[in-house]
Amino acid sequence: MLELVSEHGCFGGVQRFYRHASTTIGLPMRFSVYLPPAAMAGVGTPRPALFYLAGLTCTEETFMIKAGAQRLAAQLGLILIAPDTSPRDTGIEGEAQEWDFGAGAGFYLDATQAPWSTYWRMESYVARELFDLAVQEIRIDPRRVGIFGHSMGGHGALVLAQRHRERFRSVSAFAPIAAASQCPWGEKAFSRYLGEDRGTWQAYDASALMRAQPCVPFDGSILIDQGLSDKFLADQLNPEAFEAACAQAGQALTLRRHPGYDHGYYFIASFIEDHLRHHAAQLQG
């Protein structure tokens, strides 16, 4: 059962924040939804939707507050859905001591190592439970759903889109962690969530997944934007690895590199329109 935490009129539609008891996580989870005017007018009529996965330290509020996406989503008739980035208040010792691990750093995977495996099941939560909940309660059209994200969430979008191709028809990312098994953030998270066997990490590495695809996973192009003044670019993000993997797989990719842009939401707000139009074009029909 959904609990409406707050509701705000926004560009003719409504911005809502929800809480619910997650059966996958085993704890309350929060997520946000923007309903465009078309969804308000056509009550009960399924609409296309985009799932947005936020980055490290972010919550279900970050994208809705900072990205400036609602104005164009209202015009395009897109529902926007943003989950929190991890379980919260689990009682696990040390869960909130590090900004890049634990609370706010779920990495959109299902952990296999104790104690994290009890609650850290963000892949199943997003791609299964929240997706199904949105179909039932928010009335999204399950045949017209895209996914995108930023940084850790960009990693999540690229990974979940490939692992759940039957659910996500379009994908894009802002400054994604494009080869998580090969960077300090990913190594730290994967070793604790998944264990020391690096072979198991490949299942959550966007570039490794793309290299292993038996056929082109997406009919349309994948869109990635990357700022060249991003302080995390050299050590953490590795867009060139995903670029090479797409070339090997024959997957169409538009990877745009932007001088002067960093890793933050000023960068995201600058190119959010391109991403919404990218998804809207692929989700038509």
Q: Which are the catalytic amino acids?
A: 151, 230, 263
Residues 173/178/180/186 CA torsion (nearest 10 deg): -60
- The tokens of 225 are what? 């934007």
Q: How far apart are the first and last CA of the chain?
A: 31
Nearest CA to 238 among 277, 201, 184, 195? 184
Distance CA 256, CA 190 (A): 28
| Dihedral in degrees, nearest 10, Cα atoms 110, 114, 115, 120 | 0
Q: What share of the chain is helix, strand, coil (3-state, %, to 5)?
A: 40, 25, 35
β 2-10/79-83 pair status: unpaired
